[in-house]
Amino acid sequence: MRAVRVDGFGGPEVLALHEVPEPEPGPGEVAVQVEAANVIYLDTLIRRGLAREFFPIEPPYVPGSSVVGRVEEVGPEADPSLVGTLVLSETEKGGYAERVVVREDGLLRVPDGLSPHDALALLVDGATAMLLERSSRFLPDTRVLVLAAAGGAASLVVQLARLAGSRVIGAASSAEKRELARALGSVETVDYSAPDWHDRVREITGGAGVDVVVDGAGGALGASAFSLVADGGRFVSYGTTDGEIIEIDEAEASRRRIESVGLFDIQREETLGRNDLARLALEEAREGRIRPHVGMTLPLERAAEAHRALQERRVVGKVLLVP
């Protein structure tokens, strides 16, 4: 079978297509014929060797964290009736491949009424968005600033905040991304690449700032957004564009009664597992309350192009690879 492999850390060019042996399912495992593999920004950080503190993955490895496809073979102790079933699964050994082996107990069925690509777009980012929604405590008329608002998880957060009655300001760097943020429910949008974007947020909020910042950008951009949180507000950070974990001035946060939480803090406090959160997102989509936006679909052999587009922030929405 074909699979994309990283043989050494580096730029997108290190992603190369190889012929490799087909994996065989062991006890409690199933083999899935991949219809699409998820590509997330974290994949680009791991490929560059920038996330080794939290994801100790060493080359050679096959990238990718989740797939959608049909079960074509089951191992011992797995349910044979699963053969032919359209399923979603996170992967432990990479997803940029034509076939993967995953645990039976980690499978989710694609709900009726959802396309395989939309369902896959909701597996990882949907679970993250539900986690952020539960932590952000959106309420009617809450003023919410969402950074990188056209991204996979952030675009879902925009919709979840809107459903709660919050007033969302979507921050994004291009006109196309801001247009999507508006279409998904942002009442206002700002260009965070503009030098006066802080002033624009303050103008929108009448000088008060926002009650909640949901930060998927991290780094200097995320840190600068902290100043826009009103006293007594909440700063929720879950992502990074450069591998650097955001550092918040704890003394200022305490003085202004701002609660600052990161993704690992949220995950420790959450009682639901990843699959349970994904099920919530899939149900929201099945009912038509939220929708993912798949902005780029490429064949496996163009994995480098997919990474380059993500790294250069040119993608509006999700990126998927199709074997």
| Paired residues of 108 in beta bridges | 88
Give the alpha-carbon dihedral of 91, 94, 98, 101, to 10 degrees. Answer: -40
Instruction: State both tokens at 34.
Output: 């991949």
Please name the residues in contact with 238: beta carbons below 8 A apart, sequence gap of 6 or more.
Answer: 128, 132, 153, 214, 215, 216, 262, 263, 266
Distance CA 183, CA 252 (A): 35
Alpha helices in 27-174 (DSSP H): 41-47, 116-136, 152-163
Confidence of residue 261 (pLDDT cuts 50, 70, 90): confident
Instruction: State both tokens at 187.
Output: 């009442």
Count of residues in the chain: 323
Q: Cα 150 vs. chain centroid, distance in angstroms? A: 11
- Residues 134-143 have a mean pLDDT of 93
- Residues 176-182 have a mean pLDDT of 97
Confidence of residue 313 (pLDDT cuts 50, 70, 90): confident
Angle between helices 175-183 and 152-163 (to 10 degrees): 30
Check: pTM over 0.85? Answer yes or no: yes
Q: Cα 243 vs. chain centroid, distance in angstroms? A: 15
| Paired residues of 213 in beta bridges | 145, 235
Q: Which long-range contacts (CB under 8 A, 24 or more apart) does 251-258 make?
A: 253/226, 256/229, 256/231, 256/232, 257/231, 257/232, 258/226, 258/229, 258/231, 258/232, 258/233, 258/234
72-123 pLDDT, tens per residue? 999 999 999 999 999 999 999 999 999 999 999 999 999 999 999 999 999 9
Specify the pLDDT at position 55: 87
Rg (the chain; Cα; Å): 20
Handedness of CA 109, 288, 273, 241 (dihedral sign): positive
**Residue 218, CB half-sphere, CA atoms under 13 Å: how many?**
14
Query: Is the confidence at residue 242, as pLDDT, over 80?
Result: no
**What single-letter amino acid sits at 238?**
Y
